[in-house]
């Protein structure tokens, strides 16, 4: 998915946001549901799959390696898997578009299969570092050829049988952990991953749902994950909950726009993903979980959010990994709080779709918000809840989260805020604008 034509848009005040809304299916869970279904024997059915471009990149890749993936008349997806160890050699390079998750997880999957696969992506993805996955996967016997700096285009020569290994994660990354577990599925013996800082555990939960022997222990504050290969995945029905990263934008909008009262239905509240919601509550945000329930091993709830007077906060270190994708929208929310908010330990944000610390600092300055950048963080001076100045045009840098964050800021601004390109939003939240407008109607 390459964005040739920019889609500039303006966002200004629309009045209070009220009513109920849903968000696209969780992107992280959607990627894994497709990959695991494609590895299972038999037909799996997936409801609520994210229709964003990133997840469609994963679907196209799994089709290219032998799985049959089709959308049923009722909107669900049906996947006929090939079985572990039976991935086919794709005829062409796999185009990952903008999806870092697809790329890193599939590198792991391919590493323990006897096939050679080349990954390509758009300009933004081609800047992102892949060495963090290349290095541990090389230890099991896979071979890699990458562009300078361990970047795309990149070729993986998988090995079968791969050598089972124990890994200690150097970076808190659910993508690296998941890549290693996926490689372990077709590796004889036990694959072990120790993560000193726990990261989102969708892979572990869903692998169990597909019948894989995954054990998780805790020690020294970290998590020790063991997986027995060669694993036979059983076809399953999967219901994908709403994406908390997408829900974050609606929650922020409801908190900052006076008179708002919004119910976001059926959202994943996995504790390793819900850090932002906890932080918004710490800031005095009126945000409550209602109708909590379980969906295929994932905790789900409806989130009720009302306009609130927010106070500044320093982000606790323990919450950083569970809200790493939500920092752009949190920076915007902090601009409306009372006092100066601070976050540190965010070095990971500099290697996302864009350098999110620099991009957000520049964008905040452009709309009249004082923000001070540090090597691994940002301090944001809040205005106590009055509208931001607005005006100006934000350079989104092909980053969907930057674009959506400043769009939300425009809902409580003196002058509309221009976004240079809203096209990348299709990777995660295609009906973003329509959803906001329906709540304002």
Q: How do residues 181-209 score in pLDDT, each as one tens digit?
A: 999 999 999 999 999 988 889 999 999 99
pLDDT for residue 3 is more than 60:
no
Distance CA 99, CA 341 (A): 30
Q: Are strands 388-390 and 371-374 parallel, antiparallel or unpaired?
A: unpaired
- Condensed to tens digits (0 to 9), the pLDDT of residues 376-401 reads 999 999 999 999 999 999 999 989 99
Are 150 and 130 contacting, i.e. CB atoms less than 8 angstroms apart? yes
Cα radius of gyration rounded to whole Å, the chain: 21
Model confidence band, residue 4 (pLDDT cutoffs 50, 70, 90): low
Q: Which of 54, 122, 243, 325 is catalytic?
A: 325
59: CB partners within 8 A, 6+ apart? 34, 69, 77
Whole-number Å distance between alpha carbons of 51 and 430: 8
Q: Is 248 helix (H, G, I), strand (E, B) or coil?
A: helix
265 contact partners, CB below 8 Å, separation of at least 6: 20, 21, 22, 242, 302
- Does pLDDT of 1 surpass 60? no
Give the model confidence (pLDDT) of 69-115 as tens digits. Answer: 999 999 999 999 999 999 999 999 999 998 999 999 999 999 999 99
Tell me the domains of the chain and their CATH numbers: 9-23+271-285+309-440 (3.65.10.10), 27-239 (3.65.10.10)
Annotated binding site: 27-28, 32, 100, 128, 173, 175, 325, 352, 356, 401
Residues that constitute the known binding site for 3-phosphoshikimate:
27-28, 32, 173, 175, 325, 352
Q: Cα angle vertex 8, ends 377, 391, to 5°?
A: 60
Length of the chain: 441
Q: For residue 212, count other CB atoms closer than 10 A to its CB.
A: 24
pLDDT tens by residue, 258-303: 999 999 999 999 998 999 999 999 999 999 999 999 988 899 999 9
Q: How far is CA 147 from the centre of its chain?
A: 25
How many percent of the chain have pLDDT more than 70?
Answer: 99
Round the average pLDDT of the chain to a whole number and report it.
Answer: 95
- Burial pattern 236-253, b for ≥16 Cβ within 10 A else e, equals bebbbbbbbbbbbbbbbb
- Catalytic residue at 325? yes
Binding residues for phosphoenolpyruvate: 27, 100, 128, 175, 356, 401
Q: Report pLDDT digits (tens) over 143-177.
A: 999 999 999 999 999 999 999 999 999 888 899 99
């Amino acid at each position: 998915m390459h964005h040739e034509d920019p889609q500039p848009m303006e966002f200004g005040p629309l009045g209070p946001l009220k009513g109920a809304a849903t968000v696209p299916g969780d992107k992280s869970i959607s990627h894994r549901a497709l990959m695991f279904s494609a590895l299972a024997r038999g037909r799996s059915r997936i409801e609520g799959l994210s229709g964003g471009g990133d997840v469609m990149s994963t679907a196209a890749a799994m089709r290219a390696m032998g799985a049959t993936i089709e959308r049923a008349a009722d909107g669900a997806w049906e996947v006929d898997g090939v079985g572990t160890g039976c991935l086919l050699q794709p005829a062409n390079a796999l185009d990952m578009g903008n999806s870092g998750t697809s790329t890193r997880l599939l590198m792991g999957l391919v590493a323990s299969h006897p096939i050679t696969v080349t990954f390509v992506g758009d300009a933004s993805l081609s800047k992102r570092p892949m060495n963090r996955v290349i290095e541990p996967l090389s230890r099991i016997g896979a071979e890699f050829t990458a562009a300078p700096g361990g970047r795309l285009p990149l070729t993986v020569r998988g090995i079968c049988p791969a050598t089972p290994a124990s890994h200690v994660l150097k970076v808190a990354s659910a993508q690296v952990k998941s890549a290693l577990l996926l490689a372990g599925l077709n590796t004889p013996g036990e694959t072990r991953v120790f993560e000193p800082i726990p990261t989102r555990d969708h892979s572990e939960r869903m692998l169990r749902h597909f019948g894989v022997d995954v054990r998780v222990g805790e020690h020294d504050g970290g998590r020790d994950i063991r997986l027995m290969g060669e694993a036979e995945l059983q076809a399953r029905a999967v219901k994908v909950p709403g994406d908390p990263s997408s829900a974050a934008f609606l929650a922020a909008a409801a908190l900052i726009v006076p008179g708002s009262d919004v119910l976001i239905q059926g959202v994943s509240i996995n504790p390793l993903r819900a850090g932002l919601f906890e932080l918004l509550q710490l800031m005095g945000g009126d945000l409550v979980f209602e109708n909590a329930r379980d969906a295929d091993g994932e905790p789900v709830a409806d989130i009720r959010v009302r306009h609130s007077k927010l106070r500044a906060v320093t982000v606790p270190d323990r919450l950083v990994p569970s809200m790493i994708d939500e920092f752009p929208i949190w920076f915007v929310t902090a601009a409306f709080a009372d006092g100066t908010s601070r976050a540190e330990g965010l070095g990971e944000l500099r290697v996302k779709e864009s350098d999110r610390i620099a991009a957000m600092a520049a964008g905040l300055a452009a709309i009249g918000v004082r923000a001070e950048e540090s090597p691994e963080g940002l301090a944001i001076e809040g205005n106590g809840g009055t509208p931001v100045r607005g005006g100006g045009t934000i350079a989104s840098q092909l980053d969907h989260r930057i674009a959506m964050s400043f769009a939300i800021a425009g809902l409580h601004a003196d002058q509309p805020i221009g976004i240079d390109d809203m096209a990348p939003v299709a990777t995660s939240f295609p009906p973003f604008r329509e959803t906001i407008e329906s709540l304002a109607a």
